[in-house]
Amino acid sequence: MRDKGMRQCASVDGWPDSPKLRCLPPSEPSHTSMSSPENASSKLDLDDKPLPPIEPPSASFLVQLFVIPMIIVGIIVVVWLMFSWLAHMGSNPHELVRDLKKPNEASWQRALTLADLLRNPAHEDLKSDITMATELASVLDAQLDQASFDENSIRLRMFLARALGEFKVPQALPPILRAATIERDPAELDVRRTALEAIGVYANNNREVSLSKNEACMNALITASRERTDLAAEQQVRADLRSTAAFVLGVIGGDAALDRLVILLDDPYTNARYNAATSLCRHGDARAIPVLLEMLDPENQESATDEEHESGREWKRLQVINTGIRSAAQLAENDSVDDLEPVRIALQAIVDSDLASFGSRVRHGIRLNAEDSLLAMQSSDSKAATK
């Protein structure tokens, strides 16, 4: 018989053979654990008390529980639908053109929206809409005639030119050329630069049209490529005009364009010089090689001298060398006559270089690009040899 004072041990997890046991102290006699007649009577009295009556929920409770949340959700849905409707209304190209005929302070935002819509492949059909192009051209002509130089007017002309550049109909080009050549105030320099970019987009969208034979177009580009000034405040923006003109001349091509690009290889502004070399490479013109080798030089610091911050300078050097690598491949693809050995040596030097002037994260990518360009050059040589 077990001693009352002996500890009682039981397994923690309830199994008798569990190694983890917990011993309980010997139980003490307790009078409180015994039920007295008074306690039993009290318990019976509590059990005999009736429960409160069940009442149906009141109308105010139902309103708080269901109606008010439904109203809140409904308001949210209505607001969302309203904003969606406004956004849809503001993105209708034909309505945007109609609104642009009545210019106001917000017109430049509509012109920007229209330009973005025209760039969207989902609206490719609009690029051949003669009516829309004609209406938009008349808006830009009217703005140029108005000769306002406040910020909103300048922006409006810029985005109108950008939108017109997306079209594939001849009605879009004349006002762009006008915007590229008119300068009655320094504020219009930005309009001219944007119009030059629009010419490049138009030329790319209308490859069947030879803009190299368009006298007004070539005059606008060559004039922009000759921009110079002694005013310190305008030197950068006029240098950007030359750089943009060099790029667009490469898009258009033709003998006159290429001859002008060769002259721009000596431009003091690096962007203009490098754009000229890139454009010549696109047409397989080996006259670009001296500047191309400059672009392929990993130690070339001049390419980033115009950048204020170190992060910007590294990014600019990266862009220049990668552009040079791609241009080398284009030159090899389109030139089967000239000796491109100096370009191959420059590309191989990139592959073998530690590229110490670049961050560790981009070095591998630069080497891979150079290797791909070398392979492309070898492939071009093989194709030329079999002809």
pLDDT of residue 362 exceeding 90: no
3-state secondary structure 270-327: HHHHHHHHHHHHHCCCHHHHHHHHHHCCCCCCHHHCCCCCHHHHHHHHHHHHHHHHHH
The string over 40-60, giving b where at least 16 C-beta atoms fall within 10 Å of a residue's C-beta and e elsewhere, is eeeeeeeeeeeeeeeeeeeee
284: left (phi over 0), alpha (psi -120 to 50) or beta: left
More confident residue, 158 or 79: 158
Residue 112 confidence (pLDDT): 95
Query: What's the mean pLDDT in 291-312?
Result: 85
Residue 325 confidence (pLDDT): 96
Query: What's the mean pLDDT in 358-381?
Result: 87
Cβ-count burial of 358 within 10 angstroms (0-12 exposed, 13-18 middle, 19+ buried)?
Answer: middle
Run of H or E residues at 190 = helix 189-205
Give pLDDT tens digits for 83-141: 554 444 457 899 999 999 999 999 999 999 999 999 999 999 999 999 999 999 999 99
Query: What's the mean pLDDT in 274-293?
Result: 96
Residue 357 confidence (pLDDT): 78
Long-range contacts of 304-313 (CB under 8 A, 24+ apart): 305/270, 306/270, 306/271
Query: What's the mean pLDDT in 342-359?
Result: 90
Query: What's the mean pLDDT in 55-62?
Result: 66
Phi, then psi, of 95 in degrees rounded to 5: -70, -35
pLDDT of residue 11 exceeding 60: no
Q: What is the pTM of this model?
A: 0.74
Q: How confident is the model at residue 299 (pLDDT cuts 50, 70, 90)?
A: confident
Query: What's the mean pLDDT in 375-383?
Result: 79
Residue 315 confidence (pLDDT): 86
CA–CA separation, 172 and 82 (whole Å): 35
Give pLDDT tens digits for 60-88: 766 666 677 778 888 887 776 665 544 44
Helix (H, G, I), strand (E, B) or coil at 8: strand
Give pLDDT tens digits for 161-178: 999 999 999 999 999 999
User: Which of 8-12, 202-206, 366-370 has the weakest average pLDDT?
Assistant: 8-12
Q: How confident is the model at residue 238 (pLDDT cuts 50, 70, 90)?
A: very high
pLDDT of residue 23 exceeding 90: no
pLDDT of residue 193 exceeding 90: yes
200: left (phi over 0), alpha (psi -120 to 50) or beta: alpha
Residue 303 confidence (pLDDT): 80
Closest to 217 (Cα-Cα) out of 183, 184, 190, 180: 180
Residue 197 is encoded by which pair of tokens? 């970019």
pLDDT of residue 150 exceeding 70: yes
Cβ atoms < 10 Å from Cβ of 16 = 7
Q: How confident is the model at residue 9 (pLDDT cuts 50, 70, 90)?
A: very low
> What share of the chain has pLDDT > 90, as a percent?
62
More confident residue, 338 or 43: 338
pLDDT of residue 32 exceeding 80: no
More confident residue, 304 or 273: 273
What is the rounded average pLDDT for all residues in the chain?
Answer: 84
CA–CA separation, 201 and 174 (whole Å): 14
Residue 110 confidence (pLDDT): 94
CA-CA-CA-CA torsion sign (324, 326, 327, 331): positive
Residue type, 155: R
CA–CA separation, 155 and 161 (whole Å): 10
Domain layout of the chain by residue ranges: 284-387
Cβ atoms < 10 Å from Cβ of 352 = 10
> What share of the chain has pLDDT > 70, as a percent?
78
